[in-house]
Amino acid sequence: MKSVKIVQSGDFHLDSPLALHHMAFRKKRREELLQAFSGIIDHSVKISADLLLLTGDIFDSKRVTQITLEFLHKEMDRFPGRIFISPGNHDPYTSESPYAYHKFPDNTHVFREYEEIFIPELDCLVCGQGFTDLYEE
């Protein structure tokens, strides 16, 4: 049996309005969150991870800037393995979400309904499901 190296992360809440904080804090915190995402990619590349699982709330809502989407695309494209995203309750997969209209890199799969994806070269089955509304039973 082949070993599979997995990195998992989530809850970045990118483009959060951070409305309860002053403007200087908001700007600094947004930059820190983008750098945290970049750090996850750096780490995944450094350890030669096979899979990167992004498990919910990458975004804070459906309001995502084009700058953020381009940044994520560029960062995700650096990872040579496969990326799987399970949208969370703050960023569910809806017709208005970035998951529906943004073309993510070819190495990326976004879950909606429950799926099982077999990766033959890793002899690995990845199972996932994303939120498709703000609340799921």
Given this model, what pLDDT does residue 15 score? 83
pLDDT the model gives residue 111: 98
Whether 13 is in a domain gets the answer: yes
Give me the pLDDT at residue 19, please. Answer: 63
In a domain, residue 63? The reply is yes
Question: How far is residue 94's CA from residue 1's CA, in Å, rounded to a whole number?
Answer: 38
Residue 85's Cβ-count burial label (10 Å; 0-12, 13-18, 19+) is: buried
Report the pLDDT value the prediction gives residue 1, as an integer from 0 to 100: 59
Q: Within a domain: residue 113? A: yes
In-domain check, residue 1: no
> Could you tell me how far CA 25 lies from the centroid of its own chain?
24
Is residue 133 assigned to a domain? no
The amino acid present at 127, given as its one-letter code, is: C
User: Are 59 and 72 within 8 A, CB to CB?
Assistant: no
What's the domain count of the chain?
1
Measure CA of the first residue to CA of the last residue in the chain; give whole Å. 36
Check which CATH number belongs to the domain holding 89 and give it: 3.60.21.10
Nearest Cα neighbor of 34 from 6, 58, 18 is 58
Question: What is d(CA 6, CA 1) in angstroms, rounded to the nearest whole number?
Answer: 15
24 inside domain: yes
Distance CA 26, CA 14 (A): 11
Q: Do strands 82-86 and 51-55 pair parallel, antiparallel, or not at all (unpaired)?
A: parallel
Per-residue pLDDT of the chain (137 residues; tens, 9 = 90+): 579 999 999 999 998 766 666 677 777 878 888 999 999 999 999 999 999 999 999 998 888 999 999 999 999 999 999 999 999 999 999 999 999 999 999 999 999 999 999 999 999 999 999 999 988 77
**Domain-located, residue 136:** no
The residue range of the domain holding 75 is 6-128
Residues 7, 10, 16, 19, CA torsion sign: negative
Q: 93 by DSSP, 3-state: which?
A: coil
pLDDT of residue 22: 67
Distance of CA 3 to the CA centre of its chain: 23
What pLDDT does 2 receive?
78
- pLDDT score at 20: 66
